[in-house]
Structure 1
Amino acid sequence: MTSERPRIAIYFASHDGQTRKIVGRLAEHLGAHGVGTTITELTADASPAVDARADLVLLAAAIRYGFHLPAARRFLARLRSEVPERRIAVVSVNLTARKPGRQTAEGNVYLRNWLKRTGLRPALAAAVAGRLDYPAYRWFDRMMIQAIMTISGGPTDPATVIEYTDWQEVENLSQKLATLVTTAP
């Protein structure tokens, strides 16, 4: 850890761009709290180095077909070998988090299962609701998401576009992250 301004290294995997938008907003709010950030996108063919010198490493990942994106899963495996769990935070971006009580590992099945599968006990784990944009999806994706929405009681009209992200909750999350890096020993 550094003696300078605290810093969070943010890594993210996004499919439709909402996770990118969320981490951008997190970084803005963290800056307002006096926390420096770097943001790195994880892609299928890029394998960025882990910034093990950051005070906290945040991994934000979108869900596709019930699992976090492969680039995020691969990165998490590397991250765990290079950074202690107490300096790792994870954010799952998924539509399940649109419902009350589904923003925590206990309440969000995708986040809970991810942590259980990996055995990770991060300093912070949260779920943030994403965006539903049927017109932007390919046919197969639209059909799969409509099937999931039918099961979960969500909208299925193919013209539906809803941003479920609660931006106040994103700001609250940035405050929790800032507190982690400014009060950690």
Structure 2
Amino acid sequence: MKALLLYSTREGQTKKIMHNIAQQLNGYDCQFVNLHECQVMDLTQYDKVLIGASIRYGKLNTKLYQFINAHQQQLKNVKAAFYCVNLTARKADQGKDTPEGSVYIKTFLKKSPWQPSLIGVFAGALYYPRYRPLDRMMIRFIMKLTGGETDTSKEIEYTDWGKVSLFAKKFEKL
């Protein structure tokens, strides 16, 4: 069986999550594709399709929407799922790590012609030392406003790997 695993990532956390999910897909030959380098694909060649994308400055990358628009009919006809990675999802106690509680998923579902049957929301990682100076300053400002970490010497992974494993099991059964 074959699985197509598409991702849109900035610093690599979305790709890291995708690789973690792939390791849990028993019996699947997984093909990884960066959405930023992707052209037209035949999704019907795969038993399952998973798309993962990260938020930067409150938005998903336009390449994600371009891919969905170009492949919307195929996405409706294959077993496909979506997950979003963002720092707001670190606030699990506020439900921001759920499709129902994520403003990003609500926006995605309004903008996307594809409405996936399985959606995941995962907290990402804060990689201050890896950011360009302007990004570091902007992300620090956003984190200050939202009560997050502001020490720019730190790298913090907020991803709940147990939650990722639960999603992987649901995706495998899709």
Q: TM-score, normalised on structure 2?
A: 0.90
Aligned to 2:3: 8
* Aligned equivalent of 2:24: 29
1:120-131, aligned counterparts within 5 Å?
120-131=114-125
> Which string of whole-angstrom CA distances, capped at 9 and with x for unpartnered residues, describes residues 101-158 of structure 1?
2222211111221112224321101111111011110011112211221221111121
| Alignment partner of 1:132 is 2:126 | yes
Separation (CA, whole Å) in 2 of partners of 1:132 and 1:85: 36
Partner amino acid for 2:34? Answer: E
Decide whether aligned partners of structure 1 residues 50 and 160 sit closer, same or farther in structure 2, where only a CA change above 3 A counts. farther
| Aligned residues between the structures | 172
SS in 2 for 1:84: helix
Residue number in structure 1 paired with 2:65:
73
Q: Partners in 2 of 1:156 and 1:30 — Cα distance?
A: 36
Provide, for residues 17-48 of structure 1, a one-character-per-residue CA deviation record: whole Å limited to 9, x for no partner.
111111011000113xx3442211122x5425
- Separation in structure 2 between the aligned mates of residue 117 and residue 152 of structure 1, nearest angstrom: 25
Give unmatched runs, 5+ long, in structure 2: none
Identify which of 26, 33, 44 aligns with 1:40. 33
Aligned counterpart, 1:93: 85
- Between 1:69-78 and 1:105-114, the stretch displaced more is 69-78
Mapping of residues 95-174 of structure 1, within 5 Å: 95-100=87-92, 101-174=95-168
In structure 2, the partner of 1:177 is 171
% identical equivalent positions:
37
| Runs of 5+ unmatched residues, structure 1 | 181-185
Moved over 6 A (4+): none
